[in-house]
């Protein structure tokens, strides 16, 4: 699923490569900004702005099937344990398809369905379209709808009790319970397009267009700390294994930053070259491997692998901006989308994927 688990930690059970290079490329018809995932059959699923969801066989980067979603796909598919795939598109539709790409159902939504779905403990799903947060069952029957005061680009994170944490362009962060009632609301100074993440203590971390990363208590929304990073924070954070929060910023100082989860203090910062404008910045969210190393895309046409201490281990040049969050599909192999329309596999060696592999 998006960010690898319902709390959107970005943590993987696999290891990042040590000396990554481009191993293979699969070409779609337009930009890829979505995170890839792996289906139960080991194929990589990724949506493109050409309006198609692709299933790509890792060996040889060959297409296994494609599903026409009729408009741009910003969302990361949610793959259920039985192989069913759920995702939305800008055709104002939310789809359920089989593991082989056959349509099972489609729900007409209020607007672009461009946030990624997250499962709740009771088996229902949450996703947003336009200003509305939906709760659906597995047959796409709507349990409830909740409308916010602005468009929602933030993909909801899920707590163990079924509470969804989500941001909105009405300058707010919300906790919504299993009935669709608001538990709490925190006002911010700008749009909240970023996806929240929740650590194992129940602390929520999310950025805003006011340039601030917020740390909030999930129980009541109480603010633990705020850290002003000086530019839009639109990507989700990654929760490091050393008590850190890693996130990218927009201009005028584009950078990848590590913050202390207890205090919000800056631990390290990596500048990214580019124009000092507010609309140039990092849209990719980092992944954390099982050793606590990071991989993240950037708008300087590169993907970086970063050690826990903030030193850059590798910078892999790419053909265009990397706005897609990367994932590990096995030890040493990264899948990531690129703004040139390519799905890339990066690693140390040729890709050989067992059929039962899955993203971690």
Answer whether residue 354 is part of any domain.
no
The percent of residues above 70 in pLDDT, for the chain, comes to: 97
Q: Tell me, yes or no, whether 268 lies in a domain.
A: yes
* CA atoms of 43 and 226, how far apart (whole Å): 40
Rounded to an integer, the average pLDDT of 227-251 is: 98
User: Which pLDDT does position 357 carry in this prediction?
Assistant: 46
Residue 358 lies in a domain: no
Residue 26 domain-assigned (yes or no): yes
Per-residue confidence band for 356, with pLDDT thresholds at 50, 70 and 90: very low
What are φ and ψ of residue 179, in 5° steps? Answer: -95, -5
Give the DSSP per-residue string, 120-157. -TTS-EEEEETTEEEEE-TT--EEEEEE-SS---SPPE
Overall domain count for the chain = 1
Banded model confidence at residue 349, pLDDT cuts 50, 70, 90: low
Tell me if 353 is assigned to some domain. Answer: no
What is the predicted pLDDT for the residue at 253? 95
In this predicted structure, the answer to whether residue 38 has a pLDDT above a threshold of 90 is yes
Question: 204 - beta bridge partners?
Answer: 198, 216
Q: Alpha carbon 321 to chain centroid distance?
A: 16
Task: Fill in the DSSP letter of residue 274.
Answer: S
CB 55 within 8 A of CB 44: yes
92 burial (CB, 10 Å; 0-12 / 13-18 / 19+) is: middle
Range of the domain at 23: 2-347
Q: Is the pTM of this model over 0.85?
A: yes
**For residues 309, 225, 215 and 292, what is the CA-based torsion angle, rounded to 10 degrees?**
10
Indicate the pLDDT class of residue 351, thresholds 50, 70 and 90.
low
For position 360, what pLDDT does the model report?
45
* pLDDT at residue 93 in the model: 98
Handedness of CA 238, 268, 335, 115 (dihedral sign): positive
Q: What is the pLDDT of residue 223?
A: 98
Q: According to the model, what pLDDT value does residue 60 have?
A: 86
User: Could you write out the three-class secondary structure of 326-355?
Assistant: CEEEECCEEEEECCCCEEEEEECCCCCCCC
CA distances from 28 to 49, 63, 196, 285 (A): 9, 10, 29, 21
- Centre a 10 Å sphere on the Cβ of residue 359 and count the other Cβ atoms it contains: 23
Residue 293 has pLDDT above 50, yes or no: yes
Residue 352 lies in a domain: no
At 65-123, the pLDDT tens digits run: 999 999 999 999 999 999 999 999 999 999 999 999 999 999 999 899 999 999 999 99
Query: pLDDT tens across 305-347, in order?
Result: 999 999 999 999 999 999 999 999 999 999 999 999 999 999 9
If you average pLDDT over every residue of the chain, what do you get? Answer: 96
Q: If you average pLDDT over residues 42-51, what whole number do you get?
A: 98
Residue 165: enclosing H or E segment and its boundaries?
strand 164-168
Token pair in block for residue 249? 């910023």
Residue 356 in any domain: the answer is: no
- Assign 352 a pLDDT band (cuts: 50, 70, 90): low
Contacts of 75 (CB under 8 A, 6+ apart): 2, 34, 47, 87, 88, 89, 113, 114, 115, 116, 117, 127, 155
Phi/psi class of residue 243: alpha, beta or left (left: φ > 0; alpha: ψ in -120 to 50)? left
Is position 355 within any domain? no
Q: Per-residue pLDDT averaged across 244-273, rounded? A: 98
pLDDT at 350: 62
Residue 98 near residue 65, CB atoms below 8 Å? no
Tell me whether the omega of the peptide bond preceding residue 252 falls within 30 degrees of 0, making it cis.
Answer: yes
Distance CA(80)–CA(119), nearest Å, equals 9
Residue 126: give its domain's CATH number. Answer: 2.130.10.10
Section 227-236 average pLDDT: 98
Give dist(CA 191, CA 228) in Å, integer.
15
- pLDDT at position 358 over 50: no
**pLDDT, tens digit, for every residue of 140-188?**
999 999 999 999 999 999 999 999 999 999 999 999 999 999 999 999 9
């Amino acid at each position: 699923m998006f960010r690898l688990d319902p709390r959107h930690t970005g943590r993987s059970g696999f290891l990042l490569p040590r000396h990554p290079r481009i191993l293979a490329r699969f070409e779609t018809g337009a930009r890829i900004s979505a995170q890839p995932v792996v289906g139960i059959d080991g194929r990589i699923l990724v949506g493109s702005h050409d309006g198609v969801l692709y299933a790509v066989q890792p060996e040889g980067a060959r297409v296994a099937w494609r599903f026409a979603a009729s408009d741009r796909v910003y969302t990361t598919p949610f793959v259920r344990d039985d192989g069913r795939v759920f995702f939305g598109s800008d055709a104002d539709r939310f789809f359920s398809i089989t593991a082989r790409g056959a349509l099972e159902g489609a729900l007409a939504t209020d607007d672009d369905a461009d946030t990624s779905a997250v499962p709740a403990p009771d088996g229902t799903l949450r996703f947003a379209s336009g200003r509305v947060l939906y709760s659906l069952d597995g047959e796409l029957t709507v349990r409830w709808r909740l409308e916010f005061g602005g468009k929602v680009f933030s993909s909801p994170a899920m707590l163990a009790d079924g509470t969804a944490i989500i941001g909105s362009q009405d300058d707010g962060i919300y906790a919504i319970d299993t009935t669709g009632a608001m538990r709490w609301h925190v006002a911010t100074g700008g749009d909240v397009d970023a996806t929240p993440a929740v650590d194992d203590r129940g602390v929520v971390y999310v950025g805003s267009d006011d340039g601030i990363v917020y740390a909030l208590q999930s129980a009541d929304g109480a603010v633990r700390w705020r850290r002003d990073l000086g530019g839009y924070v639109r990507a989700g954070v990654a929760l490091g294994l050393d008590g850190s929060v890693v996130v990218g910023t927009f201009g005028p100082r584009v950078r990848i930053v590590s913050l202390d989860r207890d205090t919000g203090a800056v631990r390290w910062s990596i500048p990214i070259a580019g124009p000092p404008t507010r609309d140039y910045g990092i849209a990719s969210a980092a992944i954390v491997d099982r050793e606590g190393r990071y991989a993240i895309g950037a708008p300087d046409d590169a993907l970086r692998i970063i050690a826990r201490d903030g030193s850059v281990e590798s910078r892999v040049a790419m053909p265009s901006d990397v706005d897609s969050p990367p994932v590990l599909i096995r030890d040493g192999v990264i899948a990531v989308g690129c703004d040139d329309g390519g799905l890339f596999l990066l690693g140390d060696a040729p890709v050989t994927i067992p059929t039962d592999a899955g993203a971690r």
